[in-house]
């Protein structure tokens, strides 16, 4: 099942409009349940290349997979504010050439950050081990995976990030370190 889901997800492209993505047979199912099947079948030990292609932000598959799980990005979904303290307006929806609306993706798409956000511990572990340079990748707000993991009490991810030398002194755009998020999530 994990390979079937992965096969569907690898056909998706970030330039597709919502109707096209939703029109793919099993796209919604694959988006929602791929991780469950991958973990149950330990797909990472069998098909690293396919999973790595899906989780590569430079390939066109990652954003639609994230969108299938989370839906359109709205600023208040993440309760983050920009440096000025005011929420920025992300409510406009682009239209494709077919007249259908395009999915609204967040301005940051670090696969590690997103897998932590979606609580996909299996894939987050894989990314922490496979892409050590991404442990300090920040989002547009300056937050790192360690900020997020520590702020959500994800102790396993926090421990793994620290073992991979994640920067404990990294500051987000408001000057907060990961410790701030532990004390005031």
The pTM of this model reads: 0.78
Full domain range(s) for residue 172: 106-185
Residues 6+ apart with CB under 8 A from 156: 121, 125
Residue 158 lies in a domain: yes
Residue 99 lies in a domain: no
**What is the tally of structural domains in the chain?**
2
Q: Please give the pLDDT value at position 94.
A: 60
Cβ pair 111, 62 in contact under 8 A: yes
Q: pLDDT for 77-124, tens place per residue?
A: 554 333 334 434 444 456 655 567 989 988 776 899 889 988 899 899
Q: What are phi and psi of 98, to 5 degrees?
A: -85, -5
Residue 121 and residue 60 share a domain: no
Given a cut of 70, is residue 128 above it in pLDDT? yes
Q: What DSSP state is assigned to residue 74? A: -
Q: What residues pair up with 95 in beta bridges, in sequence order?
A: 101
Q: Please give the pLDDT value at position 48.
A: 76
Q: pLDDT for 2-58, tens place per residue?
A: 999 999 999 999 999 999 998 988 999 999 999 999 988 787 777 678 899 999 988
Cβ burial, residue 126 (10 Å; 0-12/13-18/19+): buried
Token pair in block for residue 35: 């991780």
Residue 85 lies in a domain: no
Residue 11 lies in a domain: yes
Boundary-marking domain end, from 17, 48, 72:
72
Residue 119 and residue 179 share a domain: yes
Residue 118 lies in a domain: yes
Q: What are phi and psi of 102, to 5 degrees?
A: -90, 150
Residue 57 and residue 2 share a domain: yes
Token pair in block for residue 160: 């793994």
């Amino acid at each position: 099942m994990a390979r079937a889901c992965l096969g569907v997800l690898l056909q998706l492209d970030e330039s597709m409009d919502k109707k096209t993505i939703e029109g793919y047979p099993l796209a919604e199912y694959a988006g929602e349940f791929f991780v469950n099947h991958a973990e149950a079948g330990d797909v990472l030990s069998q098909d690293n290349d396919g999973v790595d292609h899906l989780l590569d932000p430079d390939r066109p598959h990652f954003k639609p997979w994230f969108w299938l799980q989370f839906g359109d990005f709205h600023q208040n979904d993440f309760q983050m504010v920009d440096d000025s303290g005011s929420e920025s307006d992300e409510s406009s929806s682009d239209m494709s050439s077919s007249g259908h609306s395009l999915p609204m993706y967040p301005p940051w798409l670090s696969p590690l950050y997103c897998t932590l956000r979606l609580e996909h511990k299996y894939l987050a572990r894989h990314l922490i081990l496979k892409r050590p340079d991404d442990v300090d990748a920040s989002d547009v707000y300056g937050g790192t995976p360690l900020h997020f993991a520590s702020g959500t009490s994800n102790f396993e991810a926090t421990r793994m990030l620290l073992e991979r030398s994640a920067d404990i002194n990294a500051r987000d755009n408001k000057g907060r370190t990961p410790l701030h998020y532990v004390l005031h999530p």
